[in-house]
Chains A and B, each alone.
Chain A
Amino acid sequence: MNKPLLQLLLTRIVLAFVTLFAVSVVVFTATQYLPGDPARAALGAKADPSAVEALRREFGMDRPTVVQYFSWIEGALTGDFGRSIPSGRPVWEAIGPRAVNTMVLTVTSLLLLIPLSFVLGIVAAIYKDRLADHLISVPTIVTVALPEFVIGTVLIVLFAVYLRWLPPVSLINDSLPLSSQSSLFILPVLTLLGTTLAQVVRMVRAVALEVLSAEYIYMVRLRGISPSRVLIWHVLPNTITPTIQTIALNAAWLAGGVVVTESVFQLPGIGSALSDAVINRDMPTVLAITLIITATYVLINLVSEALILLLNPRLRVARGKN
C-alpha cells in the first residue's frame, strides 16, 4: 500500500472516532433533558421522595452532568455500559442477546442484498426494456413504495395465515441456540430485503446500463472476448464502485431502521429494546443502544469509503506520470 492512500485511510479512521465522540456527547446531553425522572419512573409516581433520592444517588445521578458523562464514557470504552435502572442488571446482560438477534437479522439481509441486487440489476440492464427487465423492475419498484409494516403484514398473511408455512411472529427463545430457530428469521429478512433491494437494484441497473453502453465495452467485445469474461472482468468492476455508496446507505438503514420490522414480528431485538428503554426512562440502556447503532453507522461508512479508495486504481497506483 502506498503512502497517500494510507494517509487518506488514517484520516478517515480518526474522523470516525471524532464522530463517535461527538454523537456520544449529543446523545448524553439529550438524555439529560428528556422529560421525566428515571428514578421516579422506576419506583412509580407515588414513591417516597427519600427512596427516589436514594436510587438517584445509587446510580450516581446526583453528580454534576460532566462528571456523569466522563464516568459513563470511561465505562463504555471498556465495554461496561452501566446498569439498567429498573432492573438493576448490567445493561449489556439485558441487551446482549437482543443485539445478537438484530445482528443476525441485518447481516443476513445484507449478505443476501449485495449479490442479489448485483445479479438482478445487471440482468435487468442487459435485458433492458425486455421481459426479464420488467419482471425485475416492476416488483422492486412496487415494494420500495411500501412501508416495511405493510410488506411484513402481507408476508404474514401469505406465509403464516394462508399457506401456514412459517410462524406469524418471531418470538425467539434466548435459551435455545439460534441455529435451531432460523425459520423465525425468514419473514423478517424478506421484509428488510423488500424495502432495500429496490433501491440498490435500481442503482446497479442504472450504473450497469451506462457501463454497458460505454465505448470500452464495445471495444472489448469487438476484440472477440467472450461475453462471460466481458461481464465479470469489465462490466462488474466498473459497476461496483459507484454502487458502494448506495449499498452503504441501505446497510446503515438496516442497522438503525430494523425497529419497525422487529415490532411487526415481535422479534426481540435491539430496536424493541430501545423503545422499551425510552418508555422506562432507562437512560443507561438508551445510551448504550444509541451508541451501538451510531458505531455501526460510522463503521459501515468507514468500510464503504475505504473500499471506494482501495478499488480506485488512480489512488491505488498514485505513482505519477512517467
Chain B
Amino acid sequence: MAEAIPLVVQSLFMHDLNGREIVSDVSIAVERGEVLAIIGESGSGKTSVALSLLGFARPGMRISSGKIMIGGTDILSLSRRERRAFQGGKVSLVPQNPTTSFSPRMSIGKQMAELLTAHGHSGPGVKQLLAEALRNVDLPDDERFLKRYPFELSGGQLQRIAIAMAFMTSPQVIVMDEPTTGLDVSTQQTILELIARLVKSSNASVVYVTHDLAVVNVVADRVAVMLSGRIVEQGGRKQVFAEPRDDYTRMLLDAIPRLLTDGPGPASGARSDSALEIQNVLDMKNLRASHGHVEVVHGISFSVGKGECVGLVGGSGSGKTTTGRCVTGLHGNATGTLLFEGHPMPFAVSSRSKADLSAMQIVFQNPDRSLNPKESIAQSIARAVRLTGMTDKARVGAEVRSLLDRVRLPQRLVDLYPADLSGGERQRVAVARALALKPRLLVCDEITSALDVSVQAAVVELLLDLKKDGLAMLFITHNLPLVSQIAQSIIIMKDGNIVEAGRTNEVLHSPQDRYTRMLLDAAPRLN
C-alpha cells in the first residue's frame, strides 16, 4: 500500500529548458527508517532527483512528469501554497555546502525558529524544540550560541545545525545532498556517525546523495546507481557492492582508491638513503610561514627526491596548502632554508629567476578557477609554451599537441573552451599547462578533490606516468587512500607541525602518532 511507504517516486522525468532530458524514468521507494543512497558522478542527475523530492527544480530545469508521493500525497499535484507545508515540514533537506546555505544576516537561532514558526509551532514550545534539536547534534543550546551568526561558526558546526533543522520538524522524508563533501575527513566521520544515529532514532526515510562510495558503505541500506539521468542499478548495499550487476557500477567500484597498507606505490628505484643529498630536488629546512602576524607553519623540514612523490597530508588548517605555496614562491611571508637542486632559493616569487620559476610548477585544486574561461585550450597551453622562449607558431602548435598527448587528451579539444570540458579534462589541461614549462618539481594542491572517482583515477594514473619520467612531486591532499597509491613517502601535518613522516607503507601500516591513527580510522573504506 502506498500509504505505508513514506516516499514513493514513480517514473520521474526532468528536462532542461532546451528540452534535453536530465532525469529519465526514475522510480524509487524508501521505507520508514531506511536509507537509500543515490550514487553517481557529476552530471548524472542525482542532485536533480534529490531536489525534486521537495517539489523543486533548479533554475533552467523543470519536472516534466511523474509522481512524488510523500506519505501518500503527490506533492507535484499540490498548489505552491500547499507544497510549502510539505517543504521543511514533511520533507526536509540537508544541503551540500553548509557555509553558503544559511542566511548571512540572521542569527542561527532566528533561522531555526523561523522554520518552526512556518510549520505551526509557537510560544515556549519553539524554544524547547530548538534547545532539544541542538543538544541532539551535540551543540550548545544556550542563548549566546543561538545569537551567533553563520560566519561565526565552522563548517562542521553549521552542518550540524543544518542536520538539526532537517530533523527538527519530524519529517517523514529527509533528503541529504552530499552533506559531508565539503568537510574535513575527521569532521566527516563524526557527521556520518551523527546522521546514522539520528536516522535510527527518528525512523525517517532518508535519501542520501553522494559520489563517495566509501561514505555509502557507512550509511546506506540500499543503493541506487545513476548514470546520465537513469538508475542503472538498484539494490541492497551488500549486493551492489559485492556483486554489481551493471558494468558502470563495477567500473565505479574499481575506480575507488583503496588504502594500500601493505605495498608502497611503485618505488622510485635508485634511491638509497645515503646518496640523498645530491639527488634531492627539494630540501626544505625549518620552514616557518605566517599569515599576517599569525604563524601557521612552525618550522618544518622535508625533502623530495628526483622521481619521488611525497604526500603532504592533513586536515584543513593544518598548513599543508601554505607549505605548498611557500615552495612555489606564492607565499613570501616565510623563513627557513629552501634548497632547489642544491642551490638556495628565496621565498618571494618576485626574487626568483625566470628559470627557477619555470622549474617549479603548481596545479591548483579547482580547474574551474585556474583556467581562464575566455581562453581556448590551445591558447591556454600555448601561452605557457611561449614562456619557454619558443616563438615559432608551428613549433608552439606542435608542442601544444604533444602536451595534450602527454596528458592523454584528444586533439579535438584544442579549439574548445574550459566550459566545454568536463572537470577531469579541465584538470588535465591545467596539468598540461604546468608541464609546458618542463618543470622538475610539480606541486599538486588537492588536484583531485573536485573530481569524480573515475576521473580521479585517470588523473592519478597520469601522475604516476609523469613520476616514472623522473618528475618530482609534492602531492598535497587530505585523502589518505589516494596518497597511498601514489606517494613513496608521506608527511602528516597538523596545526602547522609535522606529526609523522616516513615511508608510505610504514606510516600507514604502523602509525606512530595518535593523529595519524585517527586519520586512518576516519578514512571511510569499503568492506
Nearest A residue to B114 via CB reads A225
CB contacts (< 8 Å) of A233 on chain B: these are 103, 106, 114
Q: How many residues of A contact B (CB 8 A)?
A: 24
CA distance A234 to B111 in the complex (A): 10
B103 near A224 (CB under 8 angstroms)?
Answer: no
Tell me the nearest residue of chain B to A236, going by C-beta. B105
24 A-B residue pairs with Cβ-Cβ distance under 8 Å, sorted by A, are: A213-B59, A215-B100, A216-B100, A219-B93, A219-B95, A219-B101, A220-B103, A220-B111, A220-B114, A221-B87, A222-B51, A223-B88, A223-B165, A224-B85, A224-B88, A224-B118, A225-B118, A229-B118, A233-B103, A234-B103, A238-B103, A238-B104, A313-B105, A321-B152
List residues of chain A with CB within 8 A of the CB of B103.
Answer: 216-217, 220, 233-234, 238
Is A130 engaged at the interface, CB distance under 8 Å to the other chain? no
A214 within 8 A of B: yes
Is the C-beta of B119 less than 8 angstroms from some C-beta in chain A? yes
Do A216 and B115 contact each other (CB < 8 Å), given the known contacts A224-B86, A317-B152?
no
Asked if B97 is at the interface of the complex by the 8 Å CB criterion, the answer is yes
Q: A215-B97, A223-B92, A313-B151 are in contact. List 15 more A-B contacts (CB 8 A).
A: A215-B100, A218-B56, A223-B87, A223-B114, A223-B165, A224-B89, A224-B119, A225-B88, A225-B115, A225-B118, A226-B118, A233-B103, A234-B103, A237-B105, A238-B103
B206 at the interface (CB under 8 A from A): no
Inter-chain CA distance A263–B89, complex, in Å, is 61
Given contacts A216-B102, A216-B103, contact A222 B97 (CB under 8 A): no
Size class of the contact patch on chain B? 20 to 34
Query: How far apart are the CA atoms of A89 and B241 in the complex, in Å?
Result: 96
CB of A214 within 8 A of CB of B100, answer yes
Cβ proximity bits A186-226 to B, threshold 8 Å, 1 near / 0 not: 00000000000000000000000000011111111111111
Q: Which residues of A contact B468 (CB under 8 A)?
A: none
A46 at the interface (CB under 8 A from B): no
In Å, the complex CA distance between A233 and B86 comes to 21
What separation, in Å, do the CA atoms of A220 and B102 have in the docked complex?
A: 8
Residue of A nearest to B115 (CB): A223
Residue of A nearest to B151 (CB): A314
Q: Is B32 an interface residue (CB 8 A)?
A: no
B248 at the binding interface (Cβ < 8 Å): no
Residues in A whose Cβ lies below 8 Å from that of B93: 219, 222
Verify if B84 is at the interface (C-beta below 8 Å from A).
yes
Q: Closest approach, in angstroms, between the C-beta of B126 and any C-beta of chain A?
A: 14
Which residues of B are found within 8 Å of A218, using beta-carbon distances?
56
Please name all residues of chain A whose beta carbon is closer than 8 Å to the beta carbon of B51 when the two chains form the complex.
222
Asked if B102 and A222 sit within 8 Å, CB to CB, the answer is no
A50-93 vs B, Cβ < 8 Å mask (1 yes, 0 no): 00000000000000000000000000000000000000000000
* B501 CB–A CB distance under 8 Å: no
For residue B149, CB closer than 8 A to chain A, the reply is yes
Is the CB of B54 closer than 8 A to any CB of chain A? yes
Contact for A234 among B85, B106, B115, CB less than 8 A: B106
Q: Write out the residue numbers on chain A whose beta carbons fall within 8 Å of the beta carbon of B92.
A: 223
In the bound complex, what is the Cα–Cα distance between A96 and B85 (angstroms)? 60
- Closest residue of B by beta carbon distance from A225: B118
Q: How far is the CA of A220 from the CA of B97 in the complex (A)?
A: 14
Q: With CB as the reference atom, state the residue of chain A lying closest to B85.
A: A224
Complex Cα–Cα for A311 and B104 (A)? 12
CA distance A220 to B118 in the complex (A): 11
Interface members, chain B 206-248 (any A CB < 8 Å): none
What is the CB-to-nearest-CB distance from B155 to chain A, in angstroms, rounded to a whole number?
A: 13
Chain A residues within 8 Å of B104, by CB: 216, 238, 313
Please report which residues of chain B, range 147-162, place their CB below 8 angstroms from some CB of chain A when the two chains form the complex. 148-149, 151-152
Q: How far is the CA of A317 from the CA of B114 in the complex (A)?
A: 21
Whether B152 contacts A223 by the Cβ 8 Å rule is no
A234 to B84, CA, bound (A): 17
Contact A222 B105 (CB under 8 A): no
Given the interface pairs A226-B118, A321-B152, the reply to whether A215 lies near B95 with Cβ below 8 Å is: yes
B149 to A, closest residue via Cβ = A313
| B105 partner residues in chain A, CB cutoff 8 A | 237-238, 311, 313
CA–CA, A237 and B56, complex, Å: 25
Whole-angstrom CA separation of A217 from B129 in the bound complex: 24
The 9 A-B residue pairs with the shortest CB-CB distance in the complex, in nearest-first order: A223-B88, A224-B88, A224-B87, A224-B84, A215-B100, A219-B101, A237-B105, A313-B149, A223-B115
Complex Cα distance, B422 from A173, in Å, reads 72
Chain A min CB distance to B6 (Å): 17
A215 to B162, CA, bound (A): 13
Q: How far is the CA of A233 from the CA of B103 in the complex (A)?
A: 9
B62-103 near A? 1/0 per residue, CB < 8 Å: 000000000000000000000011111100110101001111
Q: Which residue of B lies closest to A240 (CB)?
A: B105
Cβ contact within 8 Å between A219 and B102: yes
Would you give the shortest CB distance from A122 to chain B, in whole angstroms?
16
Nearest to A217 among chain B residues (CB) is B103
CA distance A234 to B103 in the complex (A): 6
User: Residues of A contacting B56 with CB < 8 Å?
Assistant: 218, 221-222
Of the residues B54, B119, B152, contact of A222 by C-beta under 8 Å? B54
In the complex, the chain B residue whose C-beta lies closest to that of A128 is B59
